[in-house]
Amino acid sequence: MTLPIAPTMTRRSALAAALAAVAWRPAFAVEDANGAQADALHVLNRLAFGPTPGDLDRVTRMGTPAWIAEQLHPERLALPSFLVDQLATLRTPNETQRELVASYREMQKEAKEAKQAETASADGKKPGTEEGGERRKQIATIYLEAGEERLLQALNSPRQLEEVLVDFWFNHFNVYEGKGLVRVLTESYEREAIRPHVLGRFRAMLGATAKHPAMLFYLDNWLSVAPGYQPRRGGGAAKASGLNENYAREVMELHTLGVDGGYTQQDVTELARILTGWTMVPQQPRKRRFVNGQDAVASNHGDSIFGFDPARHDDGSKTWLGHSVAPGGQMEGEYALDVLARHPATAKHIATKLARRFVADDPSPALVARLTQRFLDTDGDLRAVMQSLVDSLEFRDPRPKKFKTPYQYVLSSVRATGITTTNVRPLMATLTQQGQPLYGCQTPDGWHDTEADWLNPNAITQRVNFATALASGRLPLQRVDFSDAPAGANGMTAMERQTDRAMNKDMAVEGSTPPVDAAALLATLGPAISDKTRAAVAGSPPPLRAALVLGSPDFMRR
């Protein structure tokens, strides 16, 4: 592909002319360094989480087309050894779904026993709490590790587009870490169901999310059974005696067709019937019914605990979205996902969301139409869709039109400083304070993605405070001792308190970083910072200059 590069002075008018005439000049010569830098900044802002020191020069030198081509094939980019080493210290990625679920069940059991013991013992002591506390800490660690795995890669991976897309697609197929089992499965969900597919086939990601226990639990499908189902034994799932339409509705409304995609309540109920029996089998499967032929425990991933249970499946015929669906066990659901993944309404829904993320809050219908067509023509090949997107005139318009989300703001700030982060907890706490807790969107629609959703008075104050704390070296981003203050059950109150205290202290706390050098920061960000801001920075006391750069209106947009 070719990404034309225009000098700054003429770029906007050239673009306007090109848009008006529909005739796109295939390649501009690189006429001056500023224009090339502006292009480099643009792709780093939109396809990465902003520039780190040296990125602008590097991307300018190699040219944006070459950089984009690399980004579209992340497997060709090696991870730096320090990142590989950091990731290697995480334990959660080595645990199977079964082990993770078992940890959670153990914690529940211990908590219950501790409570019973507490009630039983007259002196009000809490026997067993010690152990229960340990287990709770283990669960909190699993959640914290999900955050580390995500943020350390987002900050440091050269595969920046992959990181941007992981954020996008996790959010599209959102699960909420605060709901029961999901807390221990978030890491697994992202690593197994989202990350491998962000530049692959949409159908593969749809299927992987549908079968992951995090989604099965979050949207309740694991419990949805044929009306009249009689469980053989007791237990949690045994309470189910009929349909639960939660997943069936949201998979159409949010994951595929979109709310105006043309389905009815009847279609929701019918899809719920089709998906009965899609459940999880956290115990080792012994019964034959879980392993017979195509109805097997369906683990195409090594340790998946997804299982199709014919006994829970509604065997009747269904009429769904105008299709007659004959009884076919698990294949009914596979067929339904096929239909949804190839549906024009799905293509349009995905195209709109991608255009909104990468181009503008209100993307042009022409761009959405082109991406929709590309999605349909390639059977949902997400790499092909992304290629069309970055090739579009609309994408190339370099004006910073998007207001950063808290996630984008925090990541781009830390990246710009060049600080090597080993403790992501202050960043997780900051995201919570700014209204976008990591993995903490309670509802299945995920975070919204427009300026109206994020620009508000409190947001600006919070960002300015964060910028000031980061630039003055108040955040303990290099703290390595994780033993204290584990994440609480409802978010990160201990983490937040700690971060609040650090932010307001005037003395360095353990693990804090050196103050950020304003001149270096301005060089890193190049054309991102306007002359007006540069003048204001130059006229301010030196200790505040880097804070002003990161807290400037210019840096709030990408």
Residues binding another protein (CB under 8 A): 220, 223-225, 227, 229, 239-246, 249, 253, 259, 265, 268, 433-436, 442-443, 445, 451-462, 464-465, 468-469, 490, 493, 500, 503-506, 533, 536, 539-541, 544, 547-548, 551-553, 556
- When the beta carbons of 157 and 433 are compared against another protein, the nearer one is 433
Question: Smaller CB distance to another protein: residue 31 or 451?
Answer: 451
In the bound state with another protein, the residue whose beta carbon lies nearer, of 222 and 395, is 222
**CB of 459 vs another protein, minimal distance in Å:** 7
Pair of tokens at residue 436: 């976008």
Residue 501 CA to residue 297 CA, distance in Å, equals 50
In whole angstroms, give the CA distance from residue 367 to residue 393. 9
Q: What distance in Å separates the CA atoms of residue 190 and residue 162, rounded to the nearest whole number? A: 12
Q: How far is the CB of 454 from another protein (least distance, A)?
A: 7
C-beta of 244 vs 422, nearer to another protein: 244
CB of 465 to another protein, least distance (A): 5
Nearest residue (CB) to another protein, 35 versus 551:
551
In the structure encoding, which two tokens stand for residue 197, read together? 């597919």
Q: Please, what is the minimum distance in Å from the beta carbon of residue 151 to another protein?
A: 19
Q: Which is nearer to another protein, 226 or 339 (CB)?
A: 226
Strand partners, 131: none
Compute the distance between CA of residue 105 and CA of residue 111 in angstroms, rounded to an integer. 10
The answer to whether residues 532 and 549 touch, using CB atoms and an 8 Å cutoff, is no
Planar angle of CA 37, 363, 65, nearest 5 degrees: 30
Q: Give CA separation, 534 vs 55, 498, 521, in Å.
A: 20, 33, 11
Q: Report in angstroms how near the CB of residue 453 gets to another protein at its nearest.
A: 7
Residue nearer to another protein on the CB measure, 43 or 429: 429
Nearer to another protein by Cβ, of 32 and 554: the residue is 554
What per-residue string of b and e applies to 63-97 under the rule 16 or more CB within 10 Å gives b? bbbebbbbbbebeeeebeeebeebbeebebeebeb
Minimum distance, C-beta of residue 505 to another protein, in the bound complex (Å): 7
**Residues linked to residue 323 through DSSP beta bridges, in sequence order:** 320
Q: Which residue from 350, 370, 367, 55 is spatially nearest to 198, judged by alpha carbons? A: 350
The residue to which tokens 């309404």 are assigned: 345
Tokens of 137: 């800490």
Torsion over CA: 325, 328, 332, 338 (sign): negative
User: Shortest distance, CB of residue 260 to another protein, whole angstroms?
Assistant: 9
Whichever of 212 and 273 has its CB closer to another protein, that residue is 273
Q: Please, what is the minimum distance in Å from the beta carbon of residue 74 to another protein?
A: 32
Nearer to another protein, 13 or 443 (CB): 443
Do the Cβ atoms of 39 and 526 come closer than 8 Å?
A: no
Measured from the CB atom, is 65 or 437 closer to another protein? 437
| Separation between Cα atoms, residue 225 and residue 275, nearest integer Å | 8
Q: Minimum distance between the CB of residue 472 and another protein, rounded to whole angstroms?
A: 8
**Tokens 């969107």 found at:** 441
Closest Cα to residue 526, out of 555, 484, 498, 505?
A: 555
DSSP for 45-92 reads: HHHSS-PPTTHHHHHHHH-HHHHHHHHT-GGGSPPPHHHHHHHHT-SG
CB of 92 to another protein, least distance (A): 26
φ and ψ at residue 325, rounded to 5 degrees: -110, 110
Work out how close the CB of 554 gets to another protein at its nearest, in angstroms, rounded to a whole number. Answer: 9
Coil/strand/helix, residue 447: coil
- Residue closer to another protein by CB (options 370, 545) is 545
Contact call for residues 222 and 216 (beta carbons, < 8 A): yes
In this structure, the dihedral spanned by the alpha carbons of residues 386, 390, 393 and 394, taken in order and rounded to 10 degrees, is 70
Q: Between residues 302 and 457, which has the closer beta carbon with respect to another protein?
A: 457
- 3-class secondary structure per residue, 293-328: HHHCCCCCCCCCCEEECHHHCCCCCEEECCEEECCC
Determine whether 37 is exposed, middle or buried from the number of CB atoms within 10 Å of its CB (0-12, 13-18, 19+): buried
Report whether 189 contacts 175 (CB < 8 A): yes
DSSP label at residue 491: B
